Amino acid sequence: MLGFGSKGAAAEKAHEWVDAGATLLDVRTPAEFAEGHVRGALNISVQSLGGRLGDVPGERVVVYCRSGGRSAAATRMLRAAGKEVLDLGAMTSWGRPDDIVR
C-alpha cells in the first residue's frame, strides 16, 4: 500500500488514479462482487489472480477487497508483475456510496 496517513487520503489518491485511467480491481470472489462493487471495477478473485495477471490492463492498478487482507496479497502479486499499485484495502474505503453497484 502506498503510505497515506488516513483512509480519506488513500481514497482521494485512488479516485485520482482511476479518473486518470488506472484499473480498479476488485479481488473478492465473484459471489461477493455480484452482491455489490464499485462501478467500473474489474473482478478477478485473489485466488485466480496469479494465473490471470495478463488480464489486468494498464500499468497502474487500484485494488480492493472486503477488509484488506486479499488486496494486500494481490498488491504483492501485481507489484511482482511490474504494476504500480495502490492498495485501497476495504471496498468501503472508496468513500463514494453512489458509486456502489448492487
Distance CA 20, CA 36 (A): 23
Residue 10 contacts residue 90 (beta carbons within 8 Å) = no
C-alpha cell at 60: 497502474
**Of how many residues is the chain composed?**
102
* CA proximity to 17, closest of 55, 75, 58: 58
Residue 23 appears among annotated catalytic residues: no
Instruction: Give residue for cell 502506498.
Output: 2
| Residue of 27, 49, 65, 91 marked catalytic | 65
Question: Which positions are catalytic?
Answer: 65
